Amino acid sequence: MQNMSKINKRERFFTVGGITKNVTNPDPRSRAWVEVDPKVIEKNSRVLKDFIGEDCLLMAVVKADGYGHGAETVAKAALIGGADSLGVATLEEGIQLRNAGFKCQILILGNLINREEFYTALCWALIPTISGIREAIICNNIAEKNHKKFIVHLKVDTGMTRLGCHCHEAEELISKIDYLENISLKGIYSHLAIADSDQVKNNCKSFTQMQLNRFEKVLNDLGKRNKSLCRHLANSAGTLSDSRLHFDMVRVGLSLYGYFPVNEFGSDLKLKPALKVKARVTLVRDVDKGIGVGYGHFFKTQRKSKLAVVAIGYADGVSRVLSGKISASIDGVLIPQVGAIAMDQMVFDITDKPDIKIGHVLTLLGTDGDVMISPQKWSDLSGSIPWEVLCSFRNRLPRVIT
């Protein structure tokens, strides 16, 4: 008898049999989500392609799952808009795109480490970046064994101090690579370190100018050989700031997604943000003056207030550092977030917009009517950069393609 009642208690708590059968999955828009408009990416790609002109190729950088937009969605839209190739950071990102059916050139911007990785890159026809003779020899051996030619790009370090061979080594290195029969060196490139904070146009002694000079010297020293290579140097900031940085190809990330790394450069271009972060109000409550809100009671109401609880938190990608600093938009009206941002929830003060109800949708990031809340705004408030803000929406939020 006693046994029986124990089982019943357990069953009352745990049994879900029969209930789940006829229930459909929740709408991805039920709690909080990221909205991406591929048409906007396509248009940005076209705008950038027109801007760089027909003599220059456009590489769409879709690393980190397309800066949080979805790599496949972005890649497809960018190619339709006129991009010529794709850039990824890792082998896995390249394979994902090949698996999704992308046939264009894909350059791996990061460094591969060992034979297995280079072999995998060869199998998937991904182009590795090499920085020295070690990688060149590995590639040559692997290609020889597999009776193939390994297409690679060589990176030269002009001042980023990350990947790439020293500038003064480049010429000798290339002459050695040219002896390796199973390598086909198709590109040479470098990466700008401070183009987003440096003013190339107004200051000829700028660091970016020096990187340009170094890159040009490497190319000059190669003589005729350099003409047969795809030469590339510019990221978004470089692309928008100075056409002398374009060479044969530019590698754009941030601007493809609709943002300007430097306010002054390219702002006349019609680039538009493709991403929005939205969340629903899950509860509305009235509280008295002087009431502490959320963990730590960092915020206390200064008046009788109306508060809206919204189901998005730092686990979704809204940094806790932004607590009490951001606003969200509804009907083009900004309402302030108050108290600590928690893992899954945050609170907004809607005292001045009391018509907000359960189920209403707030726009935390992106355009809503005339209001535009940019990742730049968030990164200014949190001491980060827009790139990192965009990359943070990859954990839990469903992505809705509009």
Give the binding site for ligand PLP (CB under 6 A): 61, 63, 109, 191, 235-237, 251-254, 261
Q: Which is nearer to ligand PLP, 63 or 306 (CB)?
A: 63
As a whole number of Å, the end-to-end CA separation of the chain is 58
Q: Give CA angle at 307 (303, 312), nearest 5°.
A: 140
Interatomic CA distance for residues 40 and 192, integer angstroms = 27
Q: Which is nearer to ligand PLP, 160 or 284 (CB)?
A: 160
From the list 98, 85, 72, the residue with the least C-alpha distance to 45 is 85
Q: Quick check: is 119 catalytic?
A: no
Q: Is 293 exposed, middle or buried (0-12, 13-18, 19+ CB in 10 A)?
A: buried
Q: Which is nearer to ligand PLP, 236 or 241 (CB)?
A: 236
Using Cβ positions, the residue closest to ligand PLP within the complex turns out to be 253
Interatomic CA distance for residues 51 and 256, integer angstroms = 12
Q: How far is the CB of 44 from ligand PLP (least distance, A)?
A: 12
The three-state secondary structure class of 47 is helix
Q: How far is the CB of 93 from ligand PLP (least distance, A)?
A: 12
The three-state secondary structure class of 1 is coil
Q: How far is the CB of 251 from ligand PLP (least distance, A)?
A: 4
Catalytic position from the list 145, 176, 289, 295: 295
The three-state secondary structure class of 188 is strand
Q: Quick check: is 300 catalytic?
A: no
Catalytic position from the list 43, 63, 155, 306: 63
Cross-strand pairs, 373: 366
Q: Which is nearer to ligand PLP, 77 or 237 (CB)?
A: 237
Q: Which residues are catalytic?
A: 63, 295
